[in-house]
């Protein structure tokens, strides 16, 4: 075993230092501050591998060629200020590879001083931290969803308690009504059904935090759709019309989707459609399918969805509504409900303008042998 007290100190020669820098997995660049515009005079192989640029592509150029449309101007200004004052700097910013792909660059700049104390060059130590940042963002998102789930569980318990009288009392009141009070008895039936559906919805508040659901019977969407839409209509203003079109293949069923889940998905989609139309217009709910799948689409007559918003439409907490007007969870819940049932939900332009959200579910074949 070597003893550092007796092992002779060695000064590595320039060739050894150059070989070590070239072999390093960390990107190393050197910019010449004695030349106007501070061009690069050295980059190692790791830099070439990370950015896709060869040495001949970059030597003699200022490193701003790595910048692009999403590079933060404040980060660029901070680099300029640090270099001008001869300070070290650590920051992360978006740079671009030769192929145009953006990446997060973790950059450490350090000045190199000459014998006279003046800054002669800057050495940059760089690494691609795109995956690290993505993992951190995913963990932050997981924690937010977990916290939301805990909060929603407590709220669901309290709401269930408040709904209990609405579930049980309508039947008791209906029994005491005279025989000719047919209309009042029907109103009480609707109240009771709405309360039971609300109770089922509350029990599924946490569905977007679960990976799978078990124990639910396959749902025949066409049989449930009319009743679900009738309940949704009651929550809309009279200026919004819901039109039902199409039919599903006879006997088509979907596993992993409950009646309450169907109502939850349609309520979110139809209320969003009504908002997009300014509270006036027609929402079309179109049912269809084939031997393999059942499709359910919601089409509106609104202005459609901006492409940038469309790319993030199913993200949790993303909303295009004014602050306080929406939590940004409605479409995320729809996505999770459909995904849990093995389906997909897509956004496209509706014929004649507007937006179309189409949910496509695989048909349940568990009872095919008995059909």
**pLDDT one-digit tens code per residue, 269-322:** 998 888 888 888 899 999 999 999 999 999 998 888 888 787 888 877 777 766
Report the distance separating Cα 257 and Cα 253, nearest Å: 9
Report the distance separating Cα 266 and Cα 358, nearest Å: 11
40, 59 in Cβ contact below 8 A?
yes
Residue 271 sits in the same domain as residue 290 = yes
Residue 349 sits in the same domain as residue 233 = yes
When divided into structural domains, the chain yields a total of 3
In the prediction, which pLDDT does 29 show?
93
Residue 197 sits in the same domain as residue 235 = no
- Structure confidence at residue 211 as a pLDDT band (50, 70, 90): very low
Residue 27 in this model has a pLDDT that exceeds 90: yes
Q: What is the mean pLDDT of residues 348-368?
A: 84
Residue 286 sits in the same domain as residue 297 = yes
In the prediction, which pLDDT does 90 show?
95
Q: Is residue 2 part of a domain?
A: no
In the prediction, which pLDDT does 326 show?
55
Q: Is residue 119 part of a domain?
A: yes
In the prediction, which pLDDT does 40 show?
94
Domain limit, last residue, from 175, 203, 231: 203
Domain limit, last residue, from 96, 128, 160: 128
Least confident residue range of 26-35, 79-88, 312-321: 312-321
Q: Is residue 208 part of a domain?
A: no
Expressed in angstroms, the distance from the first to the final Cα of the chain is 80
- Structure confidence at residue 214 as a pLDDT band (50, 70, 90): very low
* Residue 14 or residue 78, greater confidence: 78
Residue 242: C-alpha distances to residues 29, 129, 267, 301 (Å)? 63, 49, 12, 12
Q: What is the mean pLDDT of residues 208-218?
A: 52
Least confident residue range of 83-97, 197-211, 255-269, 304-318: 197-211
In the prediction, which pLDDT does 315 show?
78
Within 13 A of 155's CA, how many CA atoms are on the CB side?
Answer: 11
Residue 171 sits in the same domain as residue 112 = no
Least confident residue range of 149-153, 175-179, 284-288: 149-153
- Can you list the positions of beta strands (E) in the chain? 27-32, 40-43, 89-96, 102-113, 119-128, 240-246, 281-289, 293-299, 344-349, 355-362
In the prediction, which pLDDT does 10 show?
52
String of b and e for 54-89 (b: at least 16 CB within 10 Å)? eeeebeeeebeebbeeebeeebeeebeebbeeeeeb
Residue 131: C-alpha distances to residues 45, 136, 137, 140, 219 (Å)? 21, 9, 10, 14, 40
33, 116 in Cβ contact below 8 A?
no
Domain limit, last residue, from 73, 102, 128: 128
- The DSSP symbol for 211 reads S
Q: What is the span of the domain harbouring residue 271?
A: 214-370
Residue 228 sits in the same domain as residue 363 = yes
Q: Is residue 174 part of a domain?
A: yes
Residue 353 sits in the same domain as residue 243 = yes
* Residue 206 or residue 64, greater confidence: 64
Q: Is residue 5 part of a domain?
A: no
- Structure confidence at residue 154 as a pLDDT band (50, 70, 90): low
In the prediction, which pLDDT does 157 show?
65
Helix, strand, coil % over all residues of the chain, rounded to 5: 45, 20, 35
Report the distance separating Cα 333 and Cα 347, nearest Å: 15
Report the distance separating Cα 359 and Cα 353, nearest Å: 19
Residue 28 sits in the same domain as residue 77 = yes
91, 75 in Cβ contact below 8 A?
yes
Please tell me which of 160-164, 248-252, 325-329, 364-368 the model is most confident about, judged by mean pLDDT. 248-252
Measured in whole angstroms, how far is the alpha carbon of residue 302 from the centre of its chain?
23
Residue 177 sits in the same domain as residue 194 = yes
Residue 198 sits in the same domain as residue 289 = no
């Amino acid at each position: 075993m070597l003893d550092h007290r007796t092992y002779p100190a060695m000064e590595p020669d320039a060739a050894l230092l150059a070989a070590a820098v070239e072999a390093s997995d960390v990107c190393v660049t050197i910019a010449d501050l004695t030349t106007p515009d501070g061009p690069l005079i050295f980059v190692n192989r790791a830099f070439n591998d990370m950015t896709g640029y060869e040495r001949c592509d970059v030597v003699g150029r200022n490193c701003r060629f790595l910048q692009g449309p999403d590079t933060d101007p404040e980060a660029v200004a901070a680099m300029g200020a640090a270099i001008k004052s001869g300070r070290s700097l650590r920051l992360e910013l978006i740079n671009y590879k030769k192929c145009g792909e953006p990446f997060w660059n973790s950059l450490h700049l350090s000045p190199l001083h000459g014998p006279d104390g003046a800054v002669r060059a800057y050495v940059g130590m760089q690494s691609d931290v795109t995956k690290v940042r993505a993992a951190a963002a995913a963990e932050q998102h997981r924690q937010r969803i977990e916290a939301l789930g805990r909060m929603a569980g407590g709220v669901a318990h309290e709401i269930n308690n408040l709904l209990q009288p609405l579930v049980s009392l309508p039947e008791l009141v209906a029994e005491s009504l005279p025989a000719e009070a047919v209309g009042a008895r029907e109103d009480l039936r609707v109240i009771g059904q709405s309360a039971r559906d609300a109770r089922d919805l509350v029990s599924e508040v946490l569905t977007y935090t679960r990976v799978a659901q078990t124990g639910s019977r396959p749902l025949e969407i066409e049989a449930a759709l009319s009743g679900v839409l009738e309940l949704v209509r009651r929550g809309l203003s009279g200026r919004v019309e819901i039109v039902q079109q199409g039919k599903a293949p006879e006997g088509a069923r979907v596993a992993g989707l409950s009646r309450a889940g169907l109502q939850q998905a349609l309520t979110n989609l139809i209320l969003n459609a009504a908002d997009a139309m300014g509270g006036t217009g027609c929402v079309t709910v179109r049912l269809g399918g084939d031997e393999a799948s059942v499709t359910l689409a919601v089409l509106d007559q609104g202005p459609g969805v901006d492409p940038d918003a469309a790319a993030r439409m199913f993200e949790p907490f993303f909303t295009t509504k004014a602050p306080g007007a929406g939590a940004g969870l409605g479409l995320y819940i729809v996505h999770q409900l459909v995904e849990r049932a093995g389906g997909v939900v897509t956004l496209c332009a509706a014929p004649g303008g507007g937006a179309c959200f189409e949910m496509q579910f695989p048909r349940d074949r568990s009872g095919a042998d008995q059909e």
